């Protein structure tokens, strides 16, 4: 006896990773997503949860959590809350179901000490006033202060 063929397209899938088990829908945009926030360990900064990544690292999630009106892709409140580089990253990263069609242009952020480019959405850095320090320069600054 052969098993009946089921159409895989009929099964809901996580819109980010494609898994079909343990799904829920997002509160912000109603898309299918892994119900996996319980996998995140506090203060680990891991990016192992589709649900948490969408909620925390996208303008879609931020827009909903802040109670803004209208579409997140054109929300003036969302755009005023972040630097252009972060708006572009939050609007176009891999945690989005839909990408921002026209992210803002921006000059890359440079370390105020050594000049290395810092990707604000993914790299480690420290802010001090208006300055951004790469991880290496931040460690050197902290060592100076500890002496």
Can you tell me the distance from the alpha carbon of 54 to that of 59, in angstroms, rounded to the nearest whole number?
A: 9
Q: What is the pLDDT of residue 39?
A: 86
Query: How is the chain split into domains, by residue range?
Result: 11-37+49-92, 109-146
> What is the SS3 assignment for 121?
coil
Q: What is the pLDDT of residue 5?
A: 47
Render pLDDT for 7-39 as a digit per residue (tens, 0 to 9): 556 799 999 999 999 999 999 999 999 999 888
Q: Is the pLDDT of residue 6 over 80?
A: no
- The DSSP code sequence of 15-60 is TTT---SSEEE-TTT--EEE--GGGPPTT------HHHHHHHSSHH
State the average pLDDT over residues 31-49: 88
């Amino acid at each position: 006896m052969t098993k009946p063929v089921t159409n895989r397209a009929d099964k809901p899938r996580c819109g980010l990773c494609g898994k079909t088990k343990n799904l829920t829908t997002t509160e912000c945009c109603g898309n299918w997503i892994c119900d996996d926030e319980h996998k995140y360990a506090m203060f680990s900064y891991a990016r192992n949860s589709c649900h948490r990544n969408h909620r925390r690292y996208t303008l879609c999630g931020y827009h909903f959590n802040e109670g803004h009106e209208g579409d997140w892709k054109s929300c003036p409140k969302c755009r005023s809350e972040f630097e252009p580089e972060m708006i572009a990253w939050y609007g176009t990263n891999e945690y989005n179901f839909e990408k921002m069609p026209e992210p803002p242009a921006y000059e890359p952020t440079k370390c105020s000490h050594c000049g290395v480019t810092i990707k604000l959405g993914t790299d480690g850095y420290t802010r001090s006033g208006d300055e951004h320090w790469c991880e290496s320069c931040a460690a050197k600054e902290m060592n100076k202060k500890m002496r």
